[in-house]
Every structure is written in C-alpha cells, then in structure tokens.
Amino acid sequence: MDEEPSAFDVGKLPTIAKDDATVARKLEKAKQKNSEDRGVLFLGRLPHGFYEEQLKAYFSQFGNVTRLRVSRNKKTGKSKHYGFIEFDSSAVAQIVAETMDNYLLMGHIMRCKLIPKDEVHPELWVGANRKWRSVPADRLARAEHDKPRTESEQAKATRRLLKRQRERKLKLEKSGIDYDFDGAAYVRCPSLRSFLLLMPFSEKARGCCSLSS
C-alpha cells in the first residue's frame, strides 16, 4: 500500500496518556470499569499529514481504537481535516474528549467531541478502517479529460477553444506579427461515438463527422 504524501511521524509527538499523571489515573480507573458501551468522537481541525494510520497510532495511547474514518474529498481523495474515531469504552472516549478538545497539535487547535450514542449516524462508519491509496494527480486529470461529454458540453468547449484562438491571434497582431492559422474545432464522429479535436477541420473528416454545435 502506498504511503500518503506528507504523512506525519507520530513518534515525534508527546504521549499525553503517559506524561500527564492526571490523565493516566483517569484512564486507569476507566479501564477498570469494563464498560461494554463504545464511545464515538468527532475530531476536527486535523493537521495536514494526520491521516488514518497516524490517527490510530496516536490515539491508541489512550485505549483500544475499534474504528476510525477520515472524511475525504470523493474526487481527489484529499483529507477534509476532520474525522471520527471509536473506542471500545465510552468512559475512555469521554476522557479523550476532555483531554484533546482545544489541544494544540502540530500548530492546530483540535476539536474533540463525544457524540451521544443516539446521534451516531448509521452510515458513519462506511469506509472505516481502510488504508487510503493516494491517486496520482496526472491520473485524475486524465480521467477528467477522457470522461464522456454531452454535445452541449462539447459545444461549450468548442466556443472556449475558438475564443482563445481569437485572443491569441489579436495578441500576435498587436505585437506586429502577421501570422494567420486555421482554427481548430471539435467534431462528432458517430462511428467512434466520441468527439475529436481536428486542427484544422478537413474535408476528409467531414464525410464521417459533423461540427458540434
């Protein structure tokens, strides 16, 4: 599995559960209760580089993390800088919320709130506990460029293309350059069920294709 770019090394962060004696005592008492109720936390203002793997590694210092999910952009996969984490004990989760809310972490003041059991959305954990494979930017750009387009969308693209060509020609004329060139145009080829960019538009192509409008 590819490591996400700019992931942070949590080993450099302080271990509050061990370093803070008060927090350590509270956690010890909470773990002795053997609570069967799980606790869910909302985590906001997550720092850049703090992703699924880093969240689990860091918050496991408090107790057993059963599930977690970082909210991500569906298209790019980038973190939205908030997420959710579940502990096997609601008592432990409460202590984590009290300890980490408004905690300064890597230059960000985190938000950490306990979500009441009856307010946990049934689809909250869809996609939880998955390692994220980052998608290369060039692959995203290629997929966007190659996706099927309607005639209306292609007509708009043609108008934008022709507008840029006119602006380029005017710029050359203002610079004292007398240069003429044939314009490009998108054409529709029914046999290919797609659009082609012809530069310039030729009579040979006219037999199987028609100008988009």
Instruction: Specify the pLDDT at position 211.
Output: 46
Tokens of 5: 């770019």
Sign of CA dihedral 125, 127, 130, 135: negative
Cβ neighbour number for residue 62 with a 10 Å cutoff: 25
Instruction: Specify the pLDDT at position 42.
Output: 98
In angstroms, the CA 6 to CA 48 distance is 8
Query: Poorest-confidence range of 32-36, 62-66, 74-78, 200-204?
Result: 200-204
In angstroms, the CA 87 to CA 59 distance is 9
Instruction: Specify the pLDDT at position 159.
Output: 86
Instruction: Specify the pLDDT at position 208.
Output: 45
Q: Is the pLDDT of residue 74 over 60?
A: yes
Beta strand residue intervals within 97-149, DSSP E: 104-105, 108-109, 111-115
1, 47 Cβ separation under 8 angstroms: no
Instruction: Dump pLDDT digits (tens) for 115-160.
Output: 999 999 989 999 787 766 666 677 767 777 777 888 888 888 888 8
Q: Is the pLDDT of residue 76 over 70?
A: yes
In the structure, what pLDDT confidence band is assigned to residue 205 with cuts at 50, 70 and 90?
Answer: very low
Q: Is the pLDDT of residue 212 over 60?
A: no
Instruction: Specify the pLDDT at position 51.
Output: 92
What pTM was estimated for this model as a whole? 0.62
Instruction: Specify the pLDDT at position 184.
Output: 60
Tokens of 202: 């030729």
Counting every residue, how long is the chain? 213
Eight-state DSSP code of residue 135:
P
Domains and CATH numbers, the chain: 10-136 (3.30.70.330), 148-211 (no CATH)
Instruction: Dump pLDDT digits (tens) for 2-24.
Output: 445 556 788 888 889 889 999 99
Q: Is the pLDDT of residue 188 over 80?
A: no
Instruction: Dump pLDDT digits (tens) for 29-68.
Output: 998 887 789 999 999 999 998 999 999 999 999 999 999 9
Mean pLDDT of 101-113: 94
Q: Is the pLDDT of residue 209 over 50?
A: no
Identify the burial level of 84 via C-beta atoms within 10 angstroms of its C-beta, where 0-12 means exposed, 13-18 middle and 19 or more buried.
buried
